[in-house]
Amino acid sequence: MKKTILAALALVCALVSASAAPGGTNPKPFVVPEVRQWQGSKGVLNITTSSRIVVADPALRAVADSLAADWQRMFGTALEVVSGKAAASDVELKIKADRRLGDEGYTMTADSRLTISSPTPTGVYWGTRTLLQIAQQTPGQAVPKGKITDWPDYPVRGLSLDVGRKFFPLDYVDDLVKVLSYYKINSLRLHLNDNGFPYYFANDWGKTYAAFRMESDTFPGLTSRDGYYT
């Protein structure tokens, strides 16, 4: 029985490997959320200390700066942001019309250099999140060669955070925004204000406080223990 189970497991692994990388090409990278389309090639693209982030459109400068900052924080390597023509091993960010992609879709092609293109800066930004996820999983931030074509299923992808009854410092919210963007979540709803539970106050709404618990430098009293906000 044990030999039969081991043989079955070996067969499953062989089938999975064969389906994941037909013809020896790179399998689809693991990304959350999963990318829609993948065309695998062979080999990897190494993004090194000499690689640059190249932009031709000023509208992408903020996206490039964000990618450079995230890359430095995650991998300890500073990638220079420049304008002009991309060379081998560079990361190129481009605005390119493609009606299939809508406002948030993008393509990412890894060959001699890595190119992320989209009709909008938002789409390019989501492409950089995919790049970061892939690079985080590979030794030396090597990117498997191939082409990703990706776009979201839903225009609003969000999280709701209830700060009406629990204190949250602004640093936590800042970090949360970074995590959400990493997974291409584009909306954060803050439930700012709410009453306490009246049954803890003898079911008397007059004694039931209302406040919110997110840090406020402008109105620090709003987060006081017994503060009121109307």
Instruction: Please give the pLDDT value at position 21.
Output: 52
Q: 142-172, pLDDT tens digit by residue?
A: 999 999 999 999 999 999 998 877 778 889 9
Please provide residue 67's backbone torsions phi and psi, each rounded to the nearest 5 degrees: -60, -45
Indicate whether 229 pLDDT > 50: no
Whole-number average pLDDT of the chain: 86
Q: 11-65, pLDDT tens digit by residue?
A: 333 334 444 455 689 999 999 999 999 999 999 999 999 999 999 899 999 999 9
The CATH number of 23-150 is: 3.30.379.10
- Angle (CA) 135 62 188, round 5°: 80
186: tokens are: 């584009």
Q: 97-121, pLDDT tens digit by residue?
A: 999 999 999 999 999 999 999 999 9
166: tokens are: 């629990």
Look up tokens 């492409």; give the residue. Answer: 127
- Report the pLDDT averaged over residues 216-227: 70
Listed in order, the ranges of the chain carrying CATH 3.30.379.10 are: 23-150
Instruction: Please give the pLDDT value at position 74.
Output: 96
